[in-house]
Amino acid sequence: MTQVERQAWDVVVVGAGGAGLRAAIAAREQGMRTAVICKSLFGKAHTVMAEGGIAASMGNVNEGDNWQVHFRDTMRGGKFLNHWRMAELHAREAPDRVWELETWGALFDRTADGRISQRNFGGHEYPRLAHVGDRTGLELIRTLQQKIVSLQQEDEREFGDHEARLKVFQECTVTRVLKEAGPAGGDGARVAGVFGYERESGRFFVIEAPSVVLATGGIGKSFKVTSNSWEYTGDGHALALLAGAPLINMEFVQFHPTGMVWPPSVKGILVTESVRGDGGVLRNSEGKRFMFDYIPEVFKDKYALTEEEGDRWYEDPDNNRRPPELLPRDEVARAINAEVKAGRGSPHGGVFLDVSTRMPAETIKRRLPSMHHQFKELADVDITAEPMEVGPTCHYVMGGVEVDPDTAAATGVPGLFAAGEVAGGMHGSNRLGGNSLSDLLVFGRRAGLYAARHAADVGADRPVVAAADAAAAEAEALRPFSAEEASAGPAGGPVENPYTLHQELQQAMNDLVGIIRRHEEMAEALHRLAGLRARARRAGVEGHRQFNPGWHLALDLRNMLLVSECVARAALERTESRGGHTRDDHPAMDRAWRTVNLQCRLATEEAQAAEPVGGAANGPVGVGDTGLAGGAASGAEPVAEPGLGGLVSDQSGQIALARKATPPIRPDLLQLFERDELVKYLTDEELSR
């Protein structure tokens, strides 16, 4: 093995978006030496794209709001698949996390009496989103970034070194979470650090640390039309899988109803939900406000049935019901999809979103400045004078690393934590707008806090990285430079262009595991993924390791392929429609599936031998008659990566599925709902408890 730079820290945070930075602040405030590793420059994380706001029941605009109402809205939005404890902690702690930002210098928009203003958003009963125009995510990132700088200034005064206890390793990519060596290196082995490379120089490094927090965000770059940036390649999801930690709820992918559809080069870029929250309406090519035709049964009594009532709600929310444009995102996205399919779409294949006839031009410019700017600059559309064209775009993955709700600890890998989009469970089958930024802060803080405590508990008994693992990680990272060897080998074929492979992957996921799904298409997707996986082993790059985007993409493909398989397998398995998972062949929500989480693990030969697929013991009565599709092990050949979680290279897949019972909801929380509502979601068995 060549000389790889090694450093020792107490806590490593992978990712520098809202969750990662909040985790780093928490860990550092516990006195732990904390390293943050991020792929972009410090302050450029995808969190800046969040527009609408942070959901927190401060009750500044409507005093009726409190954490219980927020909890209730969150569970409804997620169709009761949310981990109730995460939803509870989130609703309880979000206000404190927002107020704390003010003490770090954040400047939110104000109410008339000088408090933090709050705006309406889909699925939220009261105006709840703290906001700064439509650039709330930028304010969040900048505030956390500046808080980190202030902590570094403290350290400079105390130690003469800004980076004594908190350092950001920017433009670095982590390719493996490393675990301790020796006989304990198998199940239950502790986290020992991370392996990565500097994007600028291509130099490899190992950071040894007893705690690793994954805060890498989402997976959207596996889909063709997405609001997500290049960073969203599912790195943390894949790192967790490869380290032996399971993912849950991966079938639930949120397609935001309103992305730009034209011009082609910006297709997918987000149009904030605030447009609708502030009064924007959706119309089809016939000029009809079609959302009134798409109010689902479970929400019938909560939404206006006429345009007149919906319009009155903006002024008088206490005596009117909200317009159906503000249904949860999954409902609106499906409705748009259906209108376009029925031939009532806009010229470029979306529908019309109009604020121009709803608000004076000056109000639009003041309340939605980024949207005004974005359409003007990118599409030559003046939203104060004409409607926007919008359509669904892949926006967010509800699924992620299975975590303990209180500590954010991953399952079965001591020292591994996850927070933010990369963690699963909080949002159930569908996330409400505004609940993401609050999620980042609530669980980012918790992950940092408990990661720090774990590191403190480990004390001097720090796990040691196995040298062979670091060497294997290096060999894996270098493989794209010797694609000719793989090409000439037994599983040979031409050297592949990573950009081409990526485009084919995005097309397959978009077409076959997109917003509306059916069995045959997902089976086809799995077939194509297997083909892409074989070809990705021959992905080759030119040039050298210094800032080489082709090489970076070749390495990211491993993660995107792993995560895409999780999505496709879990989606194929769940034979119902719920939240961000819509089956054409199983269009109804099935209460029996409420008690089931689908858990994805890396398929290894040992795991498959020890844990035969099927999971019928946990399965609900009357569903899942087909058994599990995941990772049949026949003919599996582990790849030559001794010591690391080996990827199974066969055609049948790398992911094994299991069914896990969802934890029963605590009775006092259930009592926050009317029984009439609960019967729509819970099984008879749960109701009779």
| Interactions with another protein, residue window 280-309 (CB under 8 A) | none
Distance CA 375, CA 382 (A): 7
**Among residues 136, 254, 374, 384, the one that binds another protein under rule CB under 8 A:** 374
Closest CB 388 distance from another protein, rounded Å? 14
- Where are the extended beta strands (E) located within 288-373? 351-354
Q: Are strands 416-418 and 253-260 parallel, antiparallel or unpaired?
A: unpaired
Closest CB 91 distance from another protein, rounded Å? 16
Binding span for another protein by CB under 8 A among 148-156, 280-288, 520-528, 579-587 = 148-156
**Among residues 296, 317, 549, 614, the one that binds another protein under rule CB under 8 A:** 549
Residue 49 binds another protein, judged by CB under 8 A: yes
- Cα–Cα distance list, 401 to 39, 109, 218, 377, 475 (Å): 20, 34, 11, 38, 26
- Smaller CB separation from another protein, 303 or 551: 551
**Among residues 24, 48, 89, 335, the one that binds another protein under rule CB under 8 A:** 48
Give yes or no: 348 in active site.
no
Residue 565 binds another protein, judged by CB under 8 A: no
93 to 132, contacts with another protein by CB under 8 A? 95-96, 99-100, 102-105, 107-110, 113-115, 117, 132
**Among residues 91, 269, 281, 505, the one that binds another protein under rule CB under 8 A:** 269
Mapping DSSP onto H, E and C, the string for 162-229 reads CCCCEEEEECEEEEEEEEECCHHHCCCCCEEEEEEEECCCCCEEEEECCEEEECCCCCHHHCCCECCC
**Could you tell me how many residues of this chain bind another protein (CB under 8 A)?**
71
Closest CB 527 distance from another protein, rounded Å? 25
Site of tokens 């359509």:
391
**Among residues 7, 370, 407, 683, the one that binds another protein under rule CB under 8 A:** 370
Residue 425 binds another protein, judged by CB under 8 A: no
Residue 495 binds another protein, judged by CB under 8 A: no
Give yes or no: 90 in active site.
no
- Smaller CB separation from another protein, 62 or 649: 62
- Smaller CB separation from another protein, 230 or 299: 230
For 85, list phi and psi in degrees, rounded to 5: -70, -40
Tokens of 427: 């949002």
Residue 507 binds another protein, judged by CB under 8 A: no
Q: Which amino acid would we find at residue 353? A: L
**Among residues 58, 471, 512, 658, the one that binds another protein under rule CB under 8 A:** 58
- Identify the CA nearest to 570 among candidates 650, 624, 511, 635: 624
Residue 355 binds another protein, judged by CB under 8 A: no
Binding span for another protein by CB under 8 A among 23-31, 43-51, 66-74, 651-659 = 43-51
217 to 246, contacts with another protein by CB under 8 A? 229-231
Buried b (16+ CB within 10 A) or exposed e, 145-184: bebbeebbeebeeeeeebeebbbbbbbbbbbbbbbbbeee
Distance CA 446, CA 85 (A): 13
Residue 142 binds another protein, judged by CB under 8 A: yes
- Cα–Cα distance list, 461 to 180, 452, 455 (Å): 11, 15, 10
Quote the Cα angle for 202-206-212, to 5°: 120
* Sequence-distant contacts of 621-624: CB under 8 A, at least 24 apart: 621/592, 622/592, 623/575, 623/576, 623/590, 623/592, 623/593, 623/596, 624/573, 624/575, 624/596, 624/659
**Among residues 67, 71, 84, 551, the one that binds another protein under rule CB under 8 A:** 551
Residue 548 binds another protein, judged by CB under 8 A: yes
H or E element, residue 417: strand 416-418
Q: Does residue 4 contact residue 475 with C-beta atoms inside 8 Å?
A: no
Tokens of 471: 């060497």
**Among residues 22, 28, 33, 44, the one that binds another protein under rule CB under 8 A:** 44
Site of tokens 């390649």:
233
189 to 218, contacts with another protein by CB under 8 A? 200
**Among residues 292, 299, 314, 547, the one that binds another protein under rule CB under 8 A:** 547
**Among residues 7, 146, 407, 575, the one that binds another protein under rule CB under 8 A:** 146
Closest CB 473 distance from another protein, rounded Å? 22
Binding span for another protein by CB under 8 A among 24-32, 37-45, 350-358, 614-622 = 37-45
Distance CA 300, CA 297 (A): 5
Distance CA 519, CA 574 (A): 10
Binding span for another protein by CB under 8 A among 26-34, 257-265, 349-357, 466-474 = 257-265
What pairs with residue 600 in β-bridges?
247, 657
**Among residues 43, 218, 420, 631, the one that binds another protein under rule CB under 8 A:** 43
Residue 265 binds another protein, judged by CB under 8 A: yes
Distance CA 41, CA 38 (A): 7
- Identify the CA nearest to 293 among candidates 253, 338, 349, 245: 338
Closest CB 56 distance from another protein, rounded Å? 11
Task: Give the ranges where 380-518 is alpha helix by DSSP (H).
Answer: 435-458, 467-478, 483-488, 498-512
- Smaller CB separation from another protein, 274 or 597: 274
- Smaller CB separation from another protein, 370 or 651: 370
- Smaller CB separation from another protein, 38 or 174: 38
For 567, list phi and psi in degrees, rounded to 5: -60, -50
- Which of 256, 372, 538, 594 is flagged as catalytic? 256
Closest CB 48 distance from another protein, rounded Å? 5
- Which of 22, 119, 176, 276 is flagged as catalytic? 276
What residues act catalytically?
256, 276
